[in-house]
Structure 1
Amino acid sequence: MSPDLSSESAVKDLDRWIRGEFREINTELEEIYFAERAIVLQDRADVDKLSQVLVRDGGALINRVAERRELPSDQNARYELLGMIGFYLGACRRHEVQPDQSQVAPLAQILAWSLGVAPRFSSAHQHIHNRAVGGTFNSFTSLADERIFLTYNGLAVMAYRRAAHALLDVPVLGLSNPLVTYHLADAVAALRDVMGYSQALANELDVERFFYNIRPYFKSYRVGSREFRGANAGDFAGINVIDVLLGLCSPHDPFYQEVIADKYPYVAPEDQKLLRALPTFKPLLTTAVAELEAGVPSPPLRENAQLLLDLCRHYGAATVFHHHRLVVPFLQKPAADAPPERDSDMTASGPPLKEVVETLARLRDLRAARQRPDLVTARAALDRVGELLDDSGGPALLEQP
């Protein structure tokens, strides 16, 4: 029987390799690095042998796909294939070995072109488009800590998306509609889940394992002649839908515009549509103030306004927790002890770590509506809703996270 030379067969072979030998090689390398508490090891025969096998075998399989000059017709299949190529290139970058870009890069580029995304692996390939086979989803290694990271981080993303989709149904119904109570309560419950998953991640993930064996796969890497920033856990649209619909962040703010412009090529194609819609959203806090000021509020309006405050409180608490219990201990503190020559290699986003942390802190304070002399936040609107509820015999004022 002659071998199957179809494009579909070549993609299946690459998929089997990513789920098998690829993960085994990476795991073996990570155990060597971790034993030495090294980010990477150069000029060691065992390391060089494993990394060269990874480069050679992955490159050959991707070249087989590229030689067919045929892309999957289904968008999800194309995005999944882009993720496989990205896993390979991300691992090469992590182990600091050079793949042959001559066929790998053009295939990644044409896939990205057909999808309207950056030609690299993104976090969506791990939490939105990560098809499990035999009970196992794609990962770089088989390390327990990577599974912990992917599972809890992915569950938090799912919960944020659930909250966002609940909020998207609110404007069309109106804030005084008793049916909106269901959607707002669902969003509050989803954000409680976000906090629970984040707490579990903080408690179960080992700091050293994350820093040495997981984080390095999320670095920037080159596709062809161009460098693309690394995968970021925030590269999904749901969190921005929450930002703008609540009124905590504004698409008219130049800082926030830069945040959206930066992430746009790195979110899944279906999420790009949501990001494009952000400027059309009217903030629910603005609506709440206008309707509460218009006269004596109806019971549904009072209940929904209070749920809106609860939603903002839970959202702020989740983002503050993420910054202080995940970003600081798992990235900022370990990076302080890393060799100086690694300073430019500490983040997925490309800029120096200090700049990235400052950006994250600014987003944290916007989302938590914290009072800062250099920042205009939604604190005044939140306080006004609380005052109006108090005046109408409603619940107490929202406390700042």
Structure 2
Amino acid sequence: MTQAIDDLDRWIRGEFTDLNTKLEEIYFAEKALVLRGSAEVDELTAVLVRDGGSLISKVSERKVLPENADARYELLGMVGFYLAACRRHEVEPDQAQFASLALALAAPLGVAPRFASSHQNIHNRSVGGSLTTFTTLDSERVFLLYNGLSVMAYRRAAHALLSVPALGVSSPLATYHLTDAVAALRDVLRFSQALAGELDRDRFFYNIRPYFKSHRVGSREFRGVNAGDFAAINAIDVLLGLCSPHDPFYQGVITEKYPYVAPKDQKLLRSLATTESLLDMVVRELEAGPPSAPLRENAELLLDACRGHAAATVFHHNQLVAPFLREPAGYAPPEHQADMTTSGPPLEAVIETLARLRDLRAAHERPGVATARPTLDRVRALLQSAS
């Protein structure tokens, strides 16, 4: 079993990326999302399907899975990278060679039987300084680096905020964690700005985004990879009081994500239903009487964290989603318009959902939507009256 998995891993990190890179260079030269009827493309995709299918079959034939859950999740990522590449190039491998293995790996972990964004950042084991990638294109390196760093910063902020309730919002020790959360959220914005500045829009649209599309495993279609498929960002939403786990819209956002986050992230997502926001805790203590110095400082830091989360999400929507997805989609061929998103719904529906999330996280006033704006204003008023 170990030898078969090692062989698949070496192929994914070597020939697999070489084949995809050659194909992407052909597509990019033609400014095409995919090319049909090209002898060179047909030859390269045939090698991709044959060699990857053969290696996966050798793993599947052993009928023994790794005992360690992390190892099983990593193997699922390898199989998932192969399936995503086949979908990207619009070739159909033999389902019998991989579906049973992908499903057997995914079911005990409670995840979708495809690669997820966590296979690119949280669970992307580097070998010789190189991450697992689809291609060797510099644009993919830039995308994975800054997107991954943003995820790390979000996880750092979530860890800091999750440490506060046990201490209490008026604790001088909580000040350390809130200060760390503010700094981490500033890092999210900094990494997003670097991504927007360095990522080539055409390369992303033609050569990176297509690997994130939905595809079928066995008899079922599974949606593609989303950048927000990790639990930390939702923990931040709820702990800051910007999103409510009891809001039907937000419940739908969280529930839809369960199969697409890493197994350990699922526990955190489920815990949010009973998580009280730090914002509500601060209001309760401020209303109880004159605030102590630590409570005042922590309340100000919490407001800073809300501003930082808002700034990062507004920048992401306006400077990454719009220019890197919405605008390029306008000049995609008609036959590809229905395939512009990784999530399944039409592009405009996805953009509307993201815009509503942006406004919740930024506490923007939005008709028919309750945001945290009144609570944030209440905190500011209580602080001002106590000064």
* Counterpart secondary structure, 2:104: helix
Q: 2:168 aligns with which of 155, 171, 174?
A: 174
Q: Secondary structure at the match of 2:244?
A: coil
How much does 1:374 deviate? 1.6
CA distance in structure 2 between the partners assigned to 1:260 and 1:58 by the alignment: 34
Residue in structure 2 matching 1:354, options 348, 357, 370: 348
* Residues 51-79 of structure 1: CA deviation (Å, up to 9, x unaligned): 01000000000000000000000111000
Distance in structure 1 (CA, Å) of the matches to 2:63 and 2:243: 44
User: Which secondary structure state, in structure 2, belongs to the residue aligned with residue 222 of structure 1?
Assistant: strand
Establish whether residue 247 from structure 1 lines up as the match of residue 237 from structure 2.
no
**Structure 2 residue 91 is matched with structure 1 residue 97:** yes
What is the one-letter code of the residue matched to 1:111?
Answer: L
2:199 paired with 1:188: no
- Inter-partner Cα distance in structure 1 for 2:49 and 2:252: 35
Normalising by the residue count of structure 2, what TM-score does the alignment of the two structures yield? 0.99
Which among 112, 117, 127 is matched to residue 118 of structure 1? 112
Q: Does 1:160 align with 2:160?
A: no
Report SS of the residue matched to 2:112: coil
Q: Matched residue of 2:166: which SS?
A: helix
Give me the whole-angstrom Cα distance separating, in 1, the residues matched to 2:200 and 2:209: 12
Letter in 1 for 2:56: I
> Residue 383 of structure 1 aligns with which residue?
377
1:116 to partner: Cα distance: 1.1
Query: Counterparts of 1:251 and 1:230 in 2: how far apart (Å)?
Result: 24
- In the alignment, structure 1 residue 263 sits paired with structure 2 residue 257: yes
Q: Which residue, 62, 67, 75 being the options, matches 1:73?
A: 67
* CA-CA distance at 1:153 after TM superposition: 0.1
| Cα offset, 1:118, TM superposition | 0.7
- 1:122-160: CA deviation from partner (whole Å, max 9, x where unpaired): 000000000000110100000000000000000000000
Which secondary structure state, in structure 2, belongs to the residue aligned with residue 173 of structure 1? coil
SS of the counterpart of 2:120?
Answer: helix
Aligned residue in 2 for 1:339: 333
Q: CA deviation at 1:26?
A: 0.1
Alpha-carbon distance in structure 2 between the residues aligned to 1:131 and 1:266: 19
- Work out the CA distance in 2 between the residues paired with 1:222 and 1:52: 19
Give the counterpart letter for 1:81 in structure 2: L
Matched, 1:225 2:219: yes
Q: In structure 1, what is the equivalent of residue 232 of structure 2?
A: 238
Residue type of the partner of 2:11? W
CA distance, structure 1, for counterparts of residue 42 and residue 22 of structure 2: 12
Q: Quote how far apart the aligned CAs of 1:213 are.
A: 0.2
Measured in 2, the distance between the counterparts of 1:384 and 1:61 equals: 60
Whole-Å separation in 1 of the counterparts to 2:140 and 2:374: 41
Per-residue Cα deviation, 1:230-249 (whole angstroms, up to 9, x for no partner): 01110000000001111111
Question: 1:310: how far off?
Answer: 0.3
Question: Residue 135 of structure 2 aligns with which residue?
Answer: 141
Cα offset, 1:280, TM superposition: 1.4
Give structure 1 regions of 4+ aligned residues with deviation exceeding 2 angstroms: none
**SS at 2:165 equivalent:** helix
Q: In the alignment, what sits opposite 2:274?
A: 280
| Post-superposition CA distance 1:257-311 (Å, at most 9, x none) | 1111111000000000100100111011111111111110000000000000000
For 1:261, give the aligned amino acid: T
> Match for 2:335: what amino acid?
E
**Equivalent residue letter for 1:22:** F
Q: Counterpart in 1 of 2:43?
A: 49
Q: How far is the alpha carbon of 1:103 from its aligned partner? A: 2.6
The worse-fitting range, judged by mean Cα deviation, of 298-307 and 334-343 is: 334-343
* Equivalent position to 2:202, from 183, 202, 208: 208
Where does residue 293 of structure 1 map in the other structure? 287
Identity %: 70
Provide the TM-score with structure 1 as the length reference: 0.96
Q: Name structure 2 gaps, 5 residues minimum.
A: none
Q: Deviations over 1:67-104 (max 9, x none)?
A: 00000001110000000000000000000000111130
Aligned counterpart in structure 2 of residue 322 of structure 1, from 309, 316, 319: 316
Q: Matched residues in 2 for 1:114 and 1:23: separation?
A: 29
Q: Which runs of 5+ in 1 are unaligned?
A: 1-6, 394-401
Query: Which stretch shifts more, 197-206 or 247-256?
Result: 247-256
Q: Does 1:19 align with 2:13?
A: yes
